[in-house]
Amino acid sequence: MLTLVAFIVALGLLITVHEYGHYRVAVACGVKVLRFSVGFGKTLFCWRPKGSPTEFVIGAFPLGGYVKMLDEREAPVAAAERHLAFNNQPLKSRAAIVIAGPAANLLLAVLLYATVSWIGVDEPKALLASPAANSLAQRAGLRGGELVQRAGFEGDELETVESFEQLRWLLTQGALNGRDVRLALASPKAGGASQEVLLELSRIEAKDADAQLFRRIGIVAPLTRPVIGEVMAGAAAERSGLRKGDVVQRVGVTPIVDGQQLREIIRASVQGGQPLSQIWRVERAGAALELAVLPEVKQEAGLAVGRIGAYVGAPPELVSIRHGFFEGLWRGVVRTWDVSLLTLRMMGKMVIGEASLKNLSGPLTIADYAGKSASLGLTQYLVFLALISVSLGVLNLLPLPVLDGGHLMYYLWEGLTGKSVSDVWMERLQRGGVAVLLVLMSIALFNDVTRLFG
């Protein structure tokens, strides 16, 4: 139920804001708006404010909306109202009305990101766990336990890192854009002395921003104590005698220092497709125990990996992040800009084959993430809404017929040539645009089904 409610609220808000952008600028430009609809199909609710020419509608099918304006291309217009028709407005007014929808979504994202900064959020501290084996981080000399104090792209000025999530976002940008990242660290193994390392992310051909990407980088999760959490009934951990609260000290001859290291060892405890039994030394209620742990073998991205059926690692150390009004607002602008650029680059890479089409998501995935983010709290849900709002704004600005960006291309042609696109070409382009959108929607839906049920 939470997933459904969170999904409906997200769609309703984002679509309403988008269409309100069109509506508000249309009214400001002197265009008569006949209908403002959130959703398509059968009308569920309908009202007309006193003295307003606009009918406000909520449709039964929520995946979209529209603003219907007076337009001579769609129906006859009385001579007394011709100046109120959309098609008779100056080019700059028509362009402003079209761009107002995506702009409203981007402005909403700025406010949502800023609101998260104003409210404040508890995020994991940028303490690094043991790097994954043979990863960039391991080759760069990271061993685990380092605190990332500052970070930035190679050649740029390093900026203060407030949390692990901020570091993860920087690494995501670096990997997808092929830019190396420099880290300034405080290492406990060097008595807290500062050091710098370079992660050569430009060597990674990143096509997907998924868990495998961060495993190749080597920075997967923040530092956590190697504690066993909830144990699933009947799973490998329970059968091996592990209990909630056990602190793992050693696996075989390998000392365990953090939860990430332990998770990596569990993953790798497979030999020839069969689980590998190992002796674990654990501390339980102050006493040391040795247990023979035999994991289960699971398939993950085509690889056989070990699983024990228990939560591994204590919650990470958290830091509270909160900013003032102007700093929070500026951070909202910067984050919206960064996410927009990254979204455009990923779309461009998908077009030329440098990024996987698996990155496309549809309504099922959005609904799933809506529910998950809502269950984590208000700030996580606001971040989710901001991300989807950016995606909606950027998507609608693409130069694809039937989208707002396609209409802007028509107006660009009109501005350069002095004449509008002919009706014949308009129809051809619209049909082509619909075909492309249907293909993209089909791929996105296939990806949704594969992710959720594959």
Please tell me the distance from the alpha carbon of residue 230 to that of residue 384, in angstroms, as a whole number.
27
Cross-strand bridge partners of residue 321: 121
| Element spanning 150, H or E | strand 147-153
Cross-strand bridge partners of residue 304: 299
Q: What is the DSSP code string of 289-304?
A: EEEEE--EEEEETTEE
Neighbouring CB atoms inside 10 A of 267's CB total 19
Please tell me the distance from the alpha carbon of residue 402 to that of residue 179, in angstroms, as a whole number.
35
| Element spanning 137, H or E | helix 136-139
Helices (H), 162-274: 164-177, 211-217, 236-239, 259-267
| Element spanning 77, H or E | none
Active site residue: 19, 123, 146, 264, which one?
19
Please tell me the distance from the alpha carbon of residue 261 to that of residue 132, in angstroms, as a whole number.
8
Please tell me the distance from the alpha carbon of residue 444 to that of residue 439, in angstroms, as a whole number.
9
Q: Is 19 an active-site residue?
A: yes
Active site positions, annotated: 19
